[in-house]
Amino acid sequence: MTRAIAFAAALLLALPAAAQRDEDIVRLIVDDSIARFNGPCPCPYSYDRGAQCADKSAYTRRLDPWLKCYPRDVHWRDVEMYRDRMGFQSPYRRYR
């Protein structure tokens, strides 16, 4: 029984790699970008010391040009590069 639970947990942890829809991949790219940021206020909607970052965020002040806080920040090429890295077949490419 515990092996089945461990297997199910491992499968759930592998779900980000199995994302196929563009929306799922965009969300993963945004989450990864925020997680890689070193600092207290990556995005305007982030909180630091109980207060929302808003205009003090690195995104608003453009301190990190690669920081992606919103789905609109992710270019379709970022999604394609993610698919290539993960070995997914793109629904938009027919020939390689």
pLDDT at 44: 96
Give me the pLDDT at residue 20, please. 80
Residue 30 inside a domain? The answer is: yes
Residue 70 in tokens: 């919103």
Residue 43 falls inside a structural domain: yes
pLDDT of amino acid 17: 52
Structural domain contains residue 63: yes
User: How many Å apart are CA 51 and CA 58, to the nearest integer?
Assistant: 15
Give residue 30's Cα distance to chain centre: 3
In a domain, 12, yes or no: no
Model pTM above 0.75: no
Average pLDDT of the chain, as a whole number: 83
Q: What are the b/e assignments for 29-48, b being 16+ CB within 10 Å?
A: bbeebeeebeeebbbbebee
What average pLDDT does range 74-85 have in this prediction? 93
Q: What percent of the chain has pLDDT over 70?
A: 72
Is 60 part of a structural domain of the chain? Answer: yes
Is residue 96's pLDDT more than 70?
Answer: no
14-18, 21-25, 33-37, 52-56: range with lowest mean pLDDT:
14-18
Query: The domain containing residue 62 runs over which residues?
Result: 19-86
Provide the number of structural domains found in the chain. 1
